[in-house]
Structure 1
Amino acid sequence: MASIRQVDEDPNLSVEGEGDSIQATRRRASTEDSSSDSKNHSLAWTEDTAVATEQLDAIEKVEPLANTRPESYSDVYRPTGRPPLRSNGGHTSLQDLYAESPEATPLATPSAPWLSGRGHSPSSSGFTPTPARSQECLKPLFPTRLSSYFDRDWVKEGYISQIHDRDDHGQLPSWKRYCYYLAPFLAVATLATYWIYFALRIRFVLAAQAKYGTTYPMAWVFIAVEITVAVPVFLQMIWAVFILKRRHRPKLRLLGDDVPTVDVLITCCGEDVDVVLDTTRATCHVDYPRDKFRVVVLDDGNDAELRQAVENMREIYENLHYRCRPKYPGVPHHFKAGNLNYGLEEVQSMPGGASQFVAALDADMIPESEWLRAIMPHLLKDSKMALACPPQLFYNVPPSDPLCQSLDFFVHISEPIKDALGVAWCTGSGYIVRRDYLQEIGNFPTGSLAEDVATSTKLLGKGYKTAYIHEPLQYGTVPDSYGSHLKQRTRWAIGTVETSFKLKFCLYGEDVRKMTVFQRFSSFTYAVLSLFNIFLLLSLFALPVVLISGNALVAYANEEQLFWLIRACFATLVTNRLCELVLFLPAGYATGQRGSRAQLWMSPYIAFSIIRSFVLPSWLGGQKQAFKPSGSLKSELNERDASARAPLFRRLRVVVWNYMAGFHIAYVYFVLAAVALSTMRCAADGWSVRERLVCLLTHAYWPPAAWIVVVSAFWIPVAYAVDPPAMPAREALLVRDGKTAVARPTPASKTTAFRPQTALFELEYFVSTALTALVFAASLFWL
């Protein structure tokens, strides 16, 4: 590679290279024509290839420039860094010589760092050409395409170090990791037993109808309910099969100070100023040369206090900037995507112009020190890699996480599997993307609440790659109230469906033309899962209706068929429980079960939001927005502050009425009443004990008695209002540096504490499993 150095006195410049030792000179030539140049006294740079060839052996090496950064850019200790490799060591750099480099940039000005906020005069460039002019001067010396010469092999140059062959090294004990590899085989067994069970159910209903000459409508409805509730399990097991496809994502670090430039965009809109400032300080202190990255706070809330605070911080961090875009009535501002696109426009007019890479952080996401150095190597190793993203982790998840606010199942199980299939999504914060590839898709897609998913999907559709970096590189905060949690999750669901409609569910169209089969399947599956909440809600509502009807839920022609149904049911439940134990290991068994319950009790909110956004016309209240509570809240509940939370009656009123948890209460009592009525019917008839047990079995207590888990899940909003988890103040979850004021989460805050409530939920699964085992054992003697 080559490096251009400036000579203070001599107007000539030398280029040193490896391999064939390509060397050339650029000479400064000034014209004597007074008619054209007497007014501006401009300097023209020309290249004479013949003269350069004659002087190849006469060029002397030029000493590298001293560090031109001002004292405010003093070096800091970088545990993974090393001194930059200079030309006299055989490693040189032309990283800034790109065709799109702006004319007359501060890169050619030794007195100002590349991304410094300091101004400079046009004449400060002296006799040193800008990167764009320098590249143009070198073009005649290379017969091949110029960009191919300037492409760098960062690995061979020694700038990338591999710490381990797995990026998730140390996150999971070895025995758990080996057990986890059993999940695909158990998933196949679970899928097989499920389909065998449903095949027998359908076949035996048909046999019963043929034998008795009647129809069993409620049996068919119950089969539909069972299949609908099992659909998420099917998809989960299908994904588990792909665990067999190993990820090849090593743990890397970018070394030295010769690194690409990055624009870090911090988006905020009304968050607490202290939260935004903690993110900003931590970002300014990441282990990366300060003259190689710029931090821009994009305030969509136009907060005067935040503006002043950031301006005060600029006295310490010269690479920090504040921007707030204007918003005009009647003009769509496109939420977060519009804010990010505004930031992309603003950095072009800043000193140094736009950087080669763009990174983004949410207002509450505190990056780890090695954030940029850990993600950047994955982009530099592969020229087709467009985007790399770490998981979203949190430091304020309440004990036992009753609302399932952590994303542990997604970030530790789902995303690694998707990454192995080449379908890594942009998770919304902490990612780095190549600017030129981002420009190819028109910057961040607007018109969707899920701009992150849309961005990564369109990049995949262009044939580029995305990567999921499974390292803990950022920690943020989960919503601290019931209402804000509903708004966040419904917004995600609406955004996913909205993006799917725009991209035609990734099945066809120009935007997804180069996507692989797995990429299309993944995007289609997640979109269908969001829409599936509508059918799930209908199936859950049908369950008590079937019980109240008094008809048999399980139809069969003879007792032998009933025995085989019980066998198939028992095998299905056992294999599913074993698969859950193994599959949930990376995230934790309790976390996986919380996710299953959350899908049940969140289904009304997501279903209503999707119907209102995509089905109902405007004159019936249709509008595209996340869940909005009815009524207005005059003050916060502060339910997680033990000393300041609202009284019990007010908490119940707000959750039940304003947040529509009354639907959940009505459903719970509806199911319980249906079960009680069905039980009384079986007990009141003048049958023998055996006949009564069979009646109970084929009506309300058909294993695994799914209504027990459903009722428990739908009671979660009420239980949360009555007994919300208590959390300390945010500052108590952080460790703040006394000198720099940089705050980072404590080790304890990065984990989810245990609460007895978790054991109570597990009791439900134990009861349903025990009931199934008991019925299976009894069938061996009674049938």
Structure 2
Amino acid sequence: MAADQIYDIRELPEEPRIPSGQKYRNCLVYVAHLAIWIGNIYVAFRLLAILLSPQTWQMWAMFLVEGVFIHLSRKDQHLVIAASKVRENGPRKKLRVHGTKDLPRVDVLLPCCGEDVDVIIATVRAACALDYPISCCRVLVLDDGGSAALKEAVSELQSQWSHVSYHSRGRQSGMVFAKSGNLNYALTTLQRENPPEFCAILDADSVPGPDFLRATLPHLLQSPDAALVSTRQYFSNLPNGDPLSQTRSHFYTCQNAALDVLGLAIDAGSGAVFRRKAIVEVGLYPTFSFSEDWQLSQILHGMGWRTFQVQEPLQFGLVPDSLTGHCAQRNRWNIGHAQQIPAMLSSDYKHYKKSLRWSIIWDGFGIVAGEVECFFGFLAVPLLFLSGQLIPTAHPSLVKAQILMAVCQVSVLWIYEYLQVAHNDFQSAPFAHLENKWLAGSNVLAILRFYLVSAKPKGSSFVTGSVLNSWNQQALSACRKAYLDLWKNGVFYNLSLLLATVWAVSFTITSLMASYEDWTITSLMTGVAFPPLLHICYLTLMVNWVPVAYILKPPHFPKHPSHLTAEGRRSVSRVETKRGLASESRWPAVDKVGKEILHLGTRLEIQERPEL
């Protein structure tokens, strides 16, 4: 019998912002095709022009930098085209499974390791209060921090919620691959005798909304070949404007939304619900990387399983509230991607298909290469402004053709970016695929340090929210904070690059003005005013200004989200005796924020955001 005949699954009305963005879809696809074709022709023509002319290092440098930034835009363009070829390629429907009887059994797994006990308990309470029958649900707190205080706090909750329990493998804080090992411990040891059909994962700070399970399970129940559904991550302590792009709105609304249409969505870690059978079948969570959620997705795809993404605001986490914490989180993610390469080349994973192993290798290589490309691409901009002629000028006809094609190439790229922004209802900004690329140098350095110096954290933990980390323990003096931000977090490089770029532009313009009688439109267009150079200069200034602006005007992070206050905890504790469908009165704080996020569309330009 079909799954939709067994379970009462209903479709909810779609959000108004979805059709408003979808009207740009066909145009976006056409422009994506156009951008790829023009880019290919342009690169080939530029290469031919260089080879047919006397060559200089400036010409080759400009050509390579152009190629880097054209390549960085290709991922989104190819995803848009691939998603357009799927017959049912509209946004994922908003579903709910109704009823209280004969629902599938679910274990909610809460891996934690050294986070603040109040933060963990807030998540545990919310997980216990989910709108789902207790007879079909267990909440397993998986503590790799070995915290006696957490164990006692969970024990106190058991008098109110009998389906919650505490488990620990002992103190694992700071150990490599602790989270994946912790989850595998639950999937094997804890579930050996009574395995559920589905499992949900919540990070220690990711408070789920009441409808979390009812909104995610239908997508798995309706698709037997689907292994996992990931949910977009929302945050309750996000500062106004999201200055560090911590919501990763471009990833969720553009890249992962397209992958969702293809059934290839990437698991974002917290807020995932998966079919236990599928995870066990592929060998449990991979333990060769810090980015176990990303690699699990790739392994599932390589073994024929589909994965989805739900855009609804179903969980509310905490972003790192310091620049050091943010940088450490991003460094760890990139180290995890770098770990894919040697792992798949080793003999330990020969049981994977060769095609799967090479797919994971190329994915890791592509991500690391993107960081290297951005680092050197931005660094080259001031040198290019000072270098004089950037394209061959031996043949006048080739000069005009190169300039004309350069204008076309840059123009279609900007048109594509604005169409993509309109397509996702302005939830991200143009060229948002470069968000956090100001960290490119820091990420590359972190990878090199991990492999060449030490693979163990010193005086801290790989878990960003752990209280072992200095940025979570104490307020820093102004001098110490300035040292960490400018030197350890690499903002000194971004500031230096900004100043060097502005100086190079100013110096070049001043020199041109001094020799006004000698320059022509052609000399300008082949040098300082070459359209791709102006475009890349804009990207360099835009990206590298982000951390400098953060230091000059530190944002305000809400310190006491309501789900951590005494009143907030009491509101979560008010659970109805008879469990029906979710009601707003049961969890007013989360319902209020969830509605507001849906209304505003998680735009980066949010002016007011109530504390959760």
TM-score (norm 2): 0.83
Residue aligning to 1:361: 202
Q: Distance in 1 between matches of 2:171 and 2:478?
A: 41
* CA gap 1:325/1:552 in 2 versus in 1, 3 angstroms: same
Residue aligning to 1:744: 590
1:728 pairs with 2:558: yes
Q: Secondary structure at the match of 1:539?
A: helix
Q: Distance in 2 between matches of 1:676 and 1:303?
A: 58
Amino acid at match of 2:89: R
1:218 pairs with 2:66: no
Task: Kindly state the Cα deviation for residue 333 of structure 1 after the two structures are TM-superposed.
Answer: 6.0
Residue aligning to 1:652: 482
Residue aligning to 2:418: 581
Q: Distance in 1 between matches of 2:217 and 2:39?
A: 44
Residue aligning to 2:11: 163
1:623 maps to which of 447, 450, 455: 455
* CA gap 1:261/1:242 in 2 versus in 1, 3 angstroms: same
* CA gap 1:603/1:740 in 2 versus in 1, 3 angstroms: same
Once the two structures are superposed, residues 449-479 of structure 1 have per-residue CA deviations (whole angstroms, 9 ceiling, x without a partner) of: 0111222222233333323334332221211
1:674 pairs with 2:523: no
Q: Distance in 1 between matches of 2:460 and 2:472?
A: 16
Residue aligning to 2:216: 375
Q: Secondary structure at the match of 1:585?
A: helix
Task: Kindly state the Cα deviation for residue 655 of structure 1 after the two structures are TM-superposed.
Answer: 0.7
Residue aligning to 1:199: 44
Contact 2:10–2:97 (Cα < 8 Å) also in 1:
no
Residue aligning to 2:605: 754
Task: Kindly state the Cα deviation for residue 315 of structure 1 after the two structures are TM-superposed.
Answer: 0.7
Contact 2:417–2:431 (Cα < 8 Å) also in 1:
no
* CA gap 1:581/1:546 in 2 versus in 1, 3 angstroms: closer
2:70 maps to which of 204, 208, 230: 230
Contact 2:111–2:183 (Cα < 8 Å) also in 1:
yes
1:254 pairs with 2:84: no
Contact 2:129–2:572 (Cα < 8 Å) also in 1:
no
Task: Kindly state the Cα deviation for residue 656 of structure 1 after the two structures are TM-superposed.
Answer: 0.7
Contact 2:442–2:489 (Cα < 8 Å) also in 1:
no
Task: Kindly state the Cα deviation for residue 418 of structure 1 after the two structures are TM-superposed.
Answer: 1.1
Contact 1:360–1:429 (Cα < 8 Å) also in 2:
yes
TM-score (norm 1): 0.66
Residues 197-596 of structure 1 aligned to structure 2 (within 5 Å): 197-207=42-52, 209=53, 214-244=54-84, 245=86, 246-247=88-89, 249-256=92-99, 257-327=101-171, 334-348=177-191, 353-503=194-344, 510-512=351-353, 524-525=362-363, 527-548=365-386, 550-585=387-422, 587=424, 589=426, 591-593=428-430, 595-596=432-433
Residue aligning to 1:188: 33
* CA gap 1:740/1:590 in 2 versus in 1, 3 angstroms: closer
Higher relative contact order (CA 8 A, sep 6+): 2
Amino acid at match of 1:566: I
Q: Distance in 2 between matches of 1:717 and 1:522?
A: 31
Task: Kindly state the Cα deviation for residue 721 of structure 1 after the two structures are TM-superposed.
Answer: 1.0
Q: Distance in 1 between matches of 2:274 and 2:522?
A: 62
Contact 2:73–2:433 (Cα < 8 Å) also in 1:
no
Task: Kindly state the Cα deviation for residue 509 of structure 1 after the two structures are TM-superposed.
Answer: 5.9
Task: Kindly state the Cα deviation for residue 201 of structure 1 after the two structures are TM-superposed.
Answer: 2.4
Q: Distance in 1 between matches of 2:539 and 2:204?
A: 37
Contact 2:344–2:361 (Cα < 8 Å) also in 1:
no
Task: Kindly state the Cα deviation for residue 496 of structure 1 after the two structures are TM-superposed.
Answer: 2.3
Q: Distance in 2 between matches of 1:557 and 1:261?
A: 73
| Structure 2 gap ranges (5+) | 462-467, 575-586, 608-612
Amino acid at match of 1:740: S
Residue aligning to 2:527: 699
Q: Secondary structure at the match of 1:537?
A: helix
* CA gap 1:297/1:455 in 2 versus in 1, 3 angstroms: same
Task: Kindly state the Cα deviation for residue 544 of structure 1 after the two structures are TM-superposed.
Answer: 2.8
Task: Kindly state the Cα deviation for residue 401 of structure 1 after the two structures are TM-superposed.
Answer: 1.4
Contact 1:297–1:321 (Cα < 8 Å) also in 2:
yes
Contact 2:146–2:168 (Cα < 8 Å) also in 1:
yes
* CA gap 1:239/1:459 in 2 versus in 1, 3 angstroms: closer
Q: Secondary structure at the match of 1:463?
A: coil
Task: Kindly state the Cα deviation for residue 531 of structure 1 after the two structures are TM-superposed.
Answer: 2.6
Task: Kindly state the Cα deviation for residue 313 of structure 1 after the two structures are TM-superposed.
Answer: 0.8
Once the two structures are superposed, residues 676-697 of structure 1 have per-residue CA deviations (whole angstroms, 9 ceiling, x without a partner) of: 4434443444x626x2554443
Once the two structures are superposed, residues 738-778 of structure 1 have per-residue CA deviations (whole angstroms, 9 ceiling, x without a partner) of: 4726652642874456379xxxxxxxxxxxxxxxxxxxxxx
Q: Distance in 1 between matches of 2:93 and 2:427?
A: 29
Task: Kindly state the Cα deviation for residue 708 of structure 1 after the two structures are TM-superposed.
Answer: 3.5
Task: Kindly state the Cα deviation for residue 628 of structure 1 after the two structures are TM-superposed.
Answer: 9.0
Residue aligning to 2:448: 611
1:175 pairs with 2:20: yes
Q: Distance in 1 between matches of 2:336 and 2:287?
A: 11
Amino acid at match of 1:247: N
* CA gap 1:199/1:584 in 2 versus in 1, 3 angstroms: same
2:517 maps to which of 681, 685, 688: 688
Contact 2:241–2:604 (Cα < 8 Å) also in 1:
yes
Amino acid at match of 2:43: F
Task: Kindly state the Cα deviation for residue 585 of structure 1 after the two structures are TM-superposed.
Answer: 3.0
Residue aligning to 1:97: none
Q: Distance in 2 between matches of 1:407 and 1:387?
A: 20
- Report which stretch shifted further, 395-404 or 675-684: 675-684
Q: Distance in 2 between matches of 1:382 and 1:590?
A: 29
Q: Distance in 2 between matches of 1:739 and 1:605?
A: 40
- Report which stretch shifted further, 387-396 or 360-369: 387-396
Residue aligning to 1:101: none
Amino acid at match of 1:315: S
* CA gap 1:398/1:318 in 2 versus in 1, 3 angstroms: same
* CA gap 1:408/1:745 in 2 versus in 1, 3 angstroms: farther
Equivalences, count: 572
Q: Secondary structure at the match of 1:181?
A: helix
Q: Secondary structure at the match of 2:561?
A: helix
Q: Secondary structure at the match of 1:591?
A: coil
Q: Secondary structure at the match of 2:227?
A: strand
* CA gap 1:286/1:716 in 2 versus in 1, 3 angstroms: same
Q: CA RMSD in A?
A: 3.5
Q: Which structure shows the bigger proportion of residues in helix conformation?
A: 2
Contact 2:113–2:145 (Cα < 8 Å) also in 1:
yes
Residues 53-132 of structure 1 aligned to structure 2 (within 5 Å): none
How much identity, in percent, do the aligned residues show?
27
Q: Distance in 2 between matches of 1:583 and 1:361?
A: 31
* CA gap 1:625/1:708 in 2 versus in 1, 3 angstroms: farther
| Structure 1 gap ranges (5+) | 1-151, 639-643, 757-783
